Structure 1
Amino acid sequence: MTHRDTAPHRPQSAAGWRRMAMRLPVMLFRAGLGPLFGKRLLLLHHTGRVSGLDHMTPLEVVAYDPTGASWTVASGFGPQADWYQNLRHRPKTVIQVGNHYNAVTARFLCPDEGAEVMADYARRHPRTARRLCAFMGFPPKGTEASFREAGRAIPFVRLDAAHGPRRHNRGQA
């Protein structure tokens, strides 16, 4: 059992109106309104490991590296999240940022890398980081050590662009 399996609390998946609210970004991305989210949200396209069906999941970008064309995201529902498991099964996929599509390969960060990512995120977004920690069941102490502890337990994924950022819409050649 890894440290990530022993996190204090794994939130339950959303249901009812909360699920609908969480799906709203998918509808906005599909309507061509992805630029409303800036670089803060991306839309992950992934294939179901059992069904083989295409799925779309909006995710918050925790870190973005424009030089390396990579986006780091976190699985707030832990390693059991369907999108996370689907990427484990098939790490090559496509993301949408704004109205731009990028072919990416998922790389799963180790706990120490997750600690660094979370500490950096907390410096840039302290209130959101405290809320995320509380949501995950970690005491929202707000210290760098507590953010690093949370980062070791939260599964982070870096999505590396295949050939640098692509600057055209999906339907174009």
Structure 2
Amino acid sequence: MPDDDLARRNPLARALAWVLSTRWVVRAPVTLFRWGLGFVFAGRLMMLTHRGRTSGQRRYVVLEVVERPAPDTVMIASGFGERSQWFRNLQADPRCLVSVGARSDVPAVAYLLPDDESAAALERYAARYPRSWKELRRSITQVTGDPHSTIPIVRLELRPVGSRAPRRRG
């Protein structure tokens, strides 16, 4: 049975797809992070603060942490691919703020990983969280309609206190 048929028949995958495509549900954790309660997610979720590429306004999104290869490195996935607004905004301006665990609004710089490094990071995630990966992949397939879509990974390098972020590109 193809993955997309399985996603349509699986109630959990349908529920996750509804959550992922329902704005107020997806936005609810932002409020918790902004109240300083991000630690309740035990580092599994993080809040990304970035600038709109057209408006210049601050934007907020809560994302799952795919991997923490070092204390000042956080890897996140763009489940909806390169069309995600936060992903496109980081392409335009990689400077951002990260709130994860007990750390809030830490300056960071985003690096978009090549496809092979993204695939390797997702393989490690799938090995660590096989059930989560299976359900997440089904949900992404149901929402996007593409069972073979590439999921880009972004590496966020958190800056130590007092360091300067790179200047904004012209």
> Could you tell me the TM-score, scaled by structure 2's length?
0.75
Q: Which residue of 2 aligns with 1:169?
A: none
- The match for 2:26 is 22
- Residue in structure 2 matched with residue 126 of structure 1 by the alignment: 130
Q: 1:105 to 1:113 in 2, by over 3 A?
A: same
After the TM superposition, which residues 156-171 of structure 1 pair with which residues of structure 2 at under 5 Å, given as runs?
A: 156-163=153-160
Is the CA contact (8 Å cut-off) linking 1:108 and 1:158 kept in structure 2?
yes
The alpha carbon displacement at 1:162 in A equals: 2.2
Aligned to 1:85: 88
- Determine if contact 1:104/1:161 at 8 Å carries over to the other structure: yes
Q: CA separation in 2, counterparts of 1:103 and 1:160?
A: 9
Q: CA RMSD in A?
A: 2.5
Deviation at 1:81, TM superposition (A): 0.7
Write the deviation string for residues 32-80 of structure 1: whole angstroms up to 9, x where unpaired: 211111110110000000011101100100001235x100000111101
Contact 2:98 2:158 in 1 (8 A): no
Matches within 5 A, 1:23-62: 23-62=27-66
The alignment covers a number of residue pairs equal to 141
CA contact (8 A) 1:29 1:98 kept: no
| 8 Å CA contact 1:42, 1:95 repeated in 2 | yes
- TM-score with structure 1 setting the length: 0.74
Taking a change above 3 Å as real, the CA distance of residues 56 and 136 of structure 1, as seen in their structure-2 partners, is: same
Would the aligned equivalents of 1:12 and 1:77 in 2 still touch at CA under 8 Å? no
Secondary structure, aligned partner of 1:158: strand
Q: What is the one-letter code of the residue matched to 1:162? A: R
CA distance in structure 2 between the aligned counterparts of 1:99 and 1:132, rounded to whole angstroms: 26
Verify the 8 A CA contact 1:13 1:77 in the aligned structure 2.
no
Measure, in 2, the Cα distance between the counterparts of 1:161 and 1:32. 18
- 5+ residue gaps, structure 1, are 1-10, 139-148, 167-173
> Which digits, 9 at most, give the CA deviation of each residue in 1:6-54, with x for residues without a partner?
xxxxx89966xx2111111001111221111111011000000001110
Distance 1:25 1:13, change over 3 A: closer
Which stretches of structure 1, 4 residues or more, deviate above 6 A after TM superposition?
none
Counterpart-to-counterpart distance in 2, 1:157 and 1:12: 24
Secondary structure of the 2:54 match is coil
